[in-house]
Amino acid sequence: MRFGINTFLFTSPFTNESTVLFKTFKKWGFDTVEIAIEDPAHIDPAFVKAELDKAGLVCGSACACLGPDRDLRGTPEAQQNAMDYMVKLLDQMVVLDCPSLIGPVYSSVGRAEAVPPAEYKKQWKTVVKHLKALCKYAEKRGRQICMEPLNRFETDFINTVDQALKMIEDVGSPVLKIHYDTFHLNIEEKFQPDAVKRCGKLLGHFHACGCDRGTPGNDHIDWDGIAQALKKVKYDGDVVIESFTQDVKVIAKAAAIWRQMEPSRDEIAVKGVKFLKKKLA
């Protein structure tokens, strides 16, 4: 099991210059970096890979960033934009030696419309079609795609593990897995340990976040139960802290971070990784 940090806690957008963070991440005890690539043009993946190597880190995951203009159930243009964007990410991941594309790969974040059942089914079929094609490309590139259920305030499409399992079944690709996030599923799943167990061998990526987006362990989440569930399903992938603060303004607004939840973002990272290593490793 490796422990990682999502770059959104410290910067947006991530660029070549952002690699100066790597030395600090390593000093704090992280093994991997989850790079949020808002635009593939923002980075030279070969340069970023070299800087990771220098710091003794790896890119464990690439975080897909889908806004209104990138949406697999949106307008035809938004659907194509999303496909083109994620194909470019998969290409960059090969250079980065990054195994996993993660996030809500199915839709724009923040789109919550409560559409009629018939429209939902139509959107579902559209997403299945696109994910089939995207997964075929990922398989050729030797990558996996980890699909993240989001809470009801950020999507009306896939909120639970069971919905994600249904999408995986319909897509039918061995490279499509579940990306589990303790913040989102603290809202949507009645009992998180049970939800982790339902993922089983399809659990491909794990975000360890406080219930308020703060420091893992400084919250009410059943971390003991989650630790037991991860052991039960024999999860040995990355555990990544994805927390946000008011320091990165554009992300704070997108994630509705309106107040200071912890003394500092450094504390979220440092205390968070120490807690997770003690609890989960």
* Nearest-5° Cα angle at 275, 273 to 277: 65
Read off the pLDDT of residues 4-37 as tens digits, 9 standing for 90 and up: 999 999 999 999 999 999 999 999 999 999 999 9
Contact in structure between 221 and 229 (CB atoms under 8 Å): no
DSSP for 61-95 reads EEE----TTS-TTS-HHHHHHHHHHHHHHHHHHHH
Is pLDDT at 281 greater than 90 in this prediction?
A: no
Domain CATH for 32: 3.20.20.150
* pLDDT given for residue 79 in this prediction: 98
Q: What is the value of pTM for the model shown?
A: 0.96
Average predicted confidence (pLDDT) for the chain? 97
Read off the pLDDT of residues 221-264 as tens digits, 9 standing for 90 and up: 999 999 999 999 999 999 999 998 888 888 888 888 889 888 99
Total tally of structural domains belonging to the chain:
1
Read off the pLDDT of residues 101-118 as tens digits, 9 standing for 90 and up: 999 999 999 999 989 999
Domain extent at residue 91: 2-280
Rounded distance between C-alpha atoms, residue 1 and residue 64, angstroms: 22
Q: Which residues contact 174 (CB under 8 A, 6 or more apart)?
A: 139
Rounded distance between C-alpha atoms, residue 110 and residue 152, angstroms: 9
Show the DSSP H helices in 189-260 as ranges. 192-199, 223-232, 249-254
Q: How many CA atoms lie within 13 A of 254 on its CB side?
A: 18
Q: Which of these, 54, 55, 64, 4, lies nearest to 33 by C-alpha position?
A: 4
